Chain A
Amino acid sequence: MKLPVPDATPLLEAKGATMRFGGVVAVNEVDFTLREMELRCLIGPNGAGKSTFFKMLTGQLKPSAGQIRLRGENVTGAEPHHIARRGVGIKTQVPNVFNGLSVYENVFVAAGRRKSRASAKRITEQTLERVRLTGITGRMVGQLAHGQRQWVEIATVLAQEPDLILLDEPAAGMTHDEVLRTAELIREINRAQALIVVEHDMQFIRMIATTVTVFNQGRILVEDHVDRVMANQAVRDVYLGKQAA
């Protein structure tokens, strides 16, 4: 977003990324590349390793093996705050928000790092407007409904102004209207920022996706255009079939 980087250098590149927990191999030698401004959907059955992969990308987990590069810079094993400063924001699967602070303060803390107070305020107000939280800025986040808490978290990620946004099940716990609004918001965000979105809701995936990566048992099963992925028999077997059943 900031620098015109030559196409040759991907925004994000994982090579042989592996995460072991004792005997469990949650992520197994994953090679993954994301271009600047790309929107990618990541799907896969429960326990496929999607959230673990996100944690490796954001420094919450140090990979057991392999490499992670951001615009060519090796960030394997770097601290979460270091990776965040390199322009990566994440909405985690289990919401990470400041329950005891107001909606406004949640977003303000996110907007305020290394910015003047005035621009932090401006970003906060714009983001609250964009995510349609202006009506509840004074409410304590701990008292909000699950869907609203999800949006507060999305707002903090946006206020951080990252170049790459990871969303782990952003539509979970949302009403149908909220899901539609979230899909719309994701497409809108993608005009300026790259995203990787993990979701189980296939209707939602169809609304936003072009390229889909399918995880299964820690490995990439398929990576293709959404239509071909949905038609793929192997994918149906491990994932879609189960959901239909």
Chain B
Amino acid sequence: MSSVPSGWRGCLLVILAGFVLLFGLPQVVSLYGVVQMTVFVAMAVFALSQGFIWGFGGIMSFGQSAFFGLGGYVYAVSVINMGDSTIPVLLAIAVPAAFAALLGYFMFFGRISDAYVGVITLTVTIILFNVVNSTSGDFYTIGQAALGGFNGMPNVPPLNVPGYPDAAFGPIDTWYFAMGALILVYILLRGILASRFGRVVVAIRENETRVQLLGYDARVYKLLVFTIGGGVAGLGGCIFTNWGAFISPTIFGLASAAQVLIFVLVGGLGTLVGPVLGAFGIEYLISIIGTQQTLNANLVLGAVLVAFVLLVPQGLVPVVWSGIGRLLPRRFAGTGEQTAEAQS
């Protein structure tokens, strides 16, 4: 498994494309389309968190939805209580990150094997689902926010201009926020991976024993990666809640946990663009299926996954990338030499 040879040129290209989408989309599609794309972006941020910890950190979290959902709920509860959305957004990142740090500490310092990390994270999101699902009634309120059990929390206040609770964001503002956040997260993760810290993270994925024999404490690195992943997922959850002004326990559910894995697998494990495109593509597919009655969405999703795992196991982006590499003359295709240079 090699990391895609995305030197700084590939990275700049992706960021450029992100900005074109950020400013271009509201010019060319209807308001409905922009709102639609906003939820795709929320899912893409979620997918980035999964793709980062799994594809680069080698951490098999099958319950990344725990942090996604936590971000959504933390935002909802705190914005209802505070009014101004500024601190709630930060809390929606910080609380899931802290929760990930706590959980990660027990997993990585407790020497839990990789497979059990998958089981534990999955269990955690199912527990959260059940707990939040059973919070109906007046008893379960935090400050002024009623958790609402399986009915969820409707009418969550939208984002606002920091410091001005009355200047609430409209759908287009929310789009700029969401897409801006996605670009920022991408730049942040790219930066981390390009740093020496990031090289060690990838080295741990390749061979944890060797990393430890070189004197690095792999547990600390994994803990940090998992914590960052938790914060990114939380931000995705915050965007998701803003998109519909609504959040319910299904965000913690199995479907949510599985969906993000599919985004990453389809887009390409071990890349960052892959999970983003995977999220966009699958979400688009689901939205098309949703408008007609013949096909069941879950069935199609399942079929897509099976097809990818069997036919394109590396995912879309690595395949397309190496295809381009074969078509272009060698010096443009990013040889190993250049990779080593770019990352050294």
Contact of B199 with A105 in the complex, beta carbons under 8 Å: yes
Residue B337 lies at the interface, judged by CB distance under 8 Å to chain A: yes
Interface-side segment among B37-45, B76-84, B203-211: B203-211
Report the minimum CB–CB distance from B28 to chain A (whole Å).
Answer: 40
Q: Which residues of B contact A160 (CB under 8 A)?
A: 214-215
Q: Which residues of A contact B216 (CB under 8 A)?
A: 81, 113
Alpha-carbon distance A81/B220, docked complex (angstroms)? 11
Report the minimum CB–CB distance from A100 to chain B (whole Å).
Answer: 5
Residue A89 lies at the interface, judged by CB distance under 8 Å to chain B: yes
Residue A119 lies at the interface, judged by CB distance under 8 Å to chain B: no
Q: Which residues of B contact A100 (CB under 8 A)?
A: 1-3, 202, 205-206
Q: A79-B212, A81-B215 are in contact. Are A99 and B339 (CB under 8 A)?
A: no
Alpha-carbon distance A99/B58, docked complex (angstroms)? 14
Contact of B210 with A156 in the complex, beta carbons under 8 Å: yes
Alpha-carbon distance A139/B343, docked complex (angstroms)? 14
**Size class of A's contact patch?**
35 or more
Residue B340 lies at the interface, judged by CB distance under 8 Å to chain A: yes
Contact of B203 with A112 in the complex, beta carbons under 8 Å: no
Contact of B206 with A110 in the complex, beta carbons under 8 Å: no
Residue A84 lies at the interface, judged by CB distance under 8 Å to chain B: yes
Q: Which residue of A lies closest to B217 (CB)?
A: A81
Q: Which residues of A contact B335 (CB under 8 A)?
A: 138
Q: Which residues of A contact B202 (CB under 8 A)?
A: 98, 100-101
Complex interface bits, B209-244 against A, C-beta within 8 A gives 1, otherwise 0: 111111111100000000000000000000000000
Task: Give me 5 A-to-B residue pairs in the complex whose CB atoms sit less than 8 angstroms apart, sorted by A's number.
Answer: A79-B212, A98-B210, A102-B340, A109-B211, A156-B210
Alpha-carbon distance A113/B203, docked complex (angstroms)? 13
Residue B110 lies at the interface, judged by CB distance under 8 Å to chain A: no
Q: Which residues of A contact B209 (CB under 8 A)?
A: 60, 80, 92, 96
Q: Which residue of B lies closest to A58 (CB)?
A: B213
**Size class of B's contact patch?**
20 to 34
Residue A137 lies at the interface, judged by CB distance under 8 Å to chain B: yes
Contact of A98 with B206 in the complex, beta carbons under 8 Å: yes
Contact of A108 with B214 in the complex, beta carbons under 8 Å: no
Report the minimum CB–CB distance from B55 to chain A (whole Å).
Answer: 11
Contact of B336 with A84 in the complex, beta carbons under 8 Å: no
Alpha-carbon distance A140/B202, docked complex (angstroms)? 14
Query: Which A121-145 residues have C-beta < 8 A from chain B?
Result: 121, 124, 137-140
Contact of B339 with A90 in the complex, beta carbons under 8 Å: no
Contact of A105 with B1 in the complex, beta carbons under 8 Å: no
Contact of B215 with A99 in the complex, beta carbons under 8 Å: no
From A89, A102, A137, contact of B213 by CB (8 A): A89
Q: Which residue of A lies closest to B337 (CB)?
A: A138
Alpha-carbon distance A139/B214, docked complex (angstroms)? 21
Contact of B337 with A80 in the complex, beta carbons under 8 Å: no
User: Given A60-B213, A84-B215, A100-B1, 15 other A-B contacts at CB below 8 A?
Assistant: A60-B209, A81-B214, A92-B209, A96-B207, A96-B210, A98-B207, A98-B210, A102-B340, A103-B340, A105-B203, A108-B199, A110-B214, A113-B215, A137-B340, A140-B336
Query: Which B309-344 residues have C-beta < 8 A from chain A?
Result: 335-340, 343-344
Contact of A108 with B206 in the complex, beta carbons under 8 Å: no
Alpha-carbon distance A101/B205, docked complex (angstroms)? 11
Alpha-carbon distance A120/B200, docked complex (angstroms)? 13
Contact of A137 with B337 in the complex, beta carbons under 8 Å: yes
Q: Which residue of B lies closest to A139 (CB)?
A: B336
Query: Which A61-106 residues have C-beta < 8 A from chain B?
Result: 79-81, 84-85, 89-90, 92, 96-105
Q: A108-B344, A140-B2 are in contact. Are A97 and B210 (CB under 8 A)?
A: yes
Report the minimum CB–CB distance from A36 to chain B (whole Å).
Answer: 20
Contact of A156 with B343 in the complex, beta carbons under 8 Å: no
Report the minimum CB–CB distance from B285 to chain A (whole Å).
Answer: 31
Residue A117 lies at the interface, judged by CB distance under 8 Å to chain B: yes
